[in-house]
Amino acid sequence: MNNPTPNPIKEYYIAYFDTLGYQVFFKETPEKALEFLNTIHSVITNTINYVQSFNDSPLVSQLANMHIQYKIFSDNILLCIEVGNDVEKEKLRVLTFMDIISEIQRKFITEYGLFLRGGFTKGTTSINDDYIFGEGLIEAVKIEESTSHPRIAISDKIINFLLQIQLYTSEEADKGISIENRIKNGENVSNDDMMFYQRMVQMGNQEFLEHNICSNLLYKCDDDVWCLSYLYCLDVRSYIPEQTLEQVLEIMKQVLPTDYEKIPKKFPNIDSILDAHRRIVEQKLVKYSNYTEFNTNDIKRFEAQEKVLKKYVWSMVYHNHMCDRYNKTEHRIRSQGNCERRYMKLVIHVLDKDENIINT
């Protein structure tokens, strides 16, 4: 081991997730093991590079202190950052970390067809280059194991933090409104009151930003579980005027050229993302609705496949929800429910735009 003594136990935000169908794949299709391992290797390598790009970014480190630590074993991935001590920045910092995780989740699916299941929480943990240990890891794993759907579920303590924290009290808000009314009425305002008002405006804008990101990045499922909404694409153009954004980018180009080069030159295209996600989910629905090769006496195979199929039914429901939210109904998955008659197991018929059943 590199460290003679263990690192101290600290509080971390922890995301733990794994790839669905990993064990089943090797059991049922061992001849494709090498191909699948190459895919997993590519995904993990890209994930490490993606995380490292944030750790190497001077801008991100200055604004949010986003030093992301990670552990990878087989198809299990853990990402974590230390809990910060700046209350005013902490909510935006957590949302930034969650957005990074959701983008990784989206890329796993849309680029590799690999769905993830995981948990996100906050807890005490000790971590170094050799190991990770602590209550936070145990809770993250427990959340991952308790959610059967392809989602990264979020603990109640994180949800309560995101939905309840406020940067200012109601008394401070009332004072800020009072000063604003005096300014509008042309009354004299002291320097202290003006500084207080400007501070309140800044915090109000920050809360507006955090509220909007939070409402988009969180998805409450029908079983009342909160999870990451990985089809949400954070687009700064939604919050920053185009002219201001251009000015910021120009300054960044001069001051932080390394960070500037890492910025995508194209913003996320939600149509292409929804289209890619739709195609992959449809393929899974068609694949796991096919029981024709199963022996009638092998009831366990029927039950196992129906269990997998229901996971992708969840993905279909979430996909259609996001299509409606983006007002992109042309990307909705059209389907028709039925059953496999031998054991009355669930079947989902995927339909094309002309309402014909898609068989492949």
What pTM does this model have?
0.83
Q: Provide the pLDDT confidence category of residue 186 given band limits of 50, 70 and 90.
A: confident
The DSSP annotation for 243-270 comes to: HHHHHHHHHHHHH-HHHHHHS-SS---H
Summarize pLDDT for 312-322 with one digit per residue, the tens: 999 999 999 99
> Which residue carries 């067809």 as its tokens?
113
Element (DSSP H or E) covering residue 338: strand 334-340
Average pLDDT over residues 229-257: 64
Instruction: Assess whether 121 and 64 both reside in one domain.
Output: yes
Q: What are phi and psi for residue 100, nearest 5 degrees?
A: -60, -45
pLDDT band of 183, cuts 50, 70, 90: confident
Which of the two residues, 174 and 349, has the higher pLDDT score?
Answer: 349
- Say yes or no: 68 and 127 in one domain: yes
Helix (H) or strand (E) holding 280: helix 270-288
Q: Read off the pLDDT of residues 198-242 as tens digits, 9 standing for 90 and up.
A: 888 887 877 877 888 888 999 999 999 999 999 998 655 555 555
- The percent of residues above 90 in pLDDT, for the chain, comes to 37
Q: And the tokens for 48? A: 């490490």
Q: What is the span of the domain harbouring residue 149? A: 10-163+220-229
DSSP 193-206: HHHHHHHHHHHHHH
pLDDT single digits (tens) 65-79: 678 888 888 778 899
Task: Look at residue 21 and tell me if it is in a domain.
Answer: yes
Of the candidates 229, 246, 281, which is a domain's last residue? Answer: 229
Which secondary structure element, helix H or strand E, spans residue 111, and what is its range?
A: helix 87-112
Alpha-carbon span 291 to 11, nearest angstrom? 47
pLDDT of residue 50: 76
Residues 310 and 346: beta-carbon distance below 8 Å:
yes
Count of the separate structural domains present in the chain: 2
Tell me: do 54 and 138 sit in the same domain.
yes
Same domain, 149 and 24: yes
Calpha distance 200→185 (Å, rounded): 19
Same domain, yes or no: 21 and 151: yes
* Same domain membership, residue 225 and residue 293: no
Model pLDDT, residue 358: 81
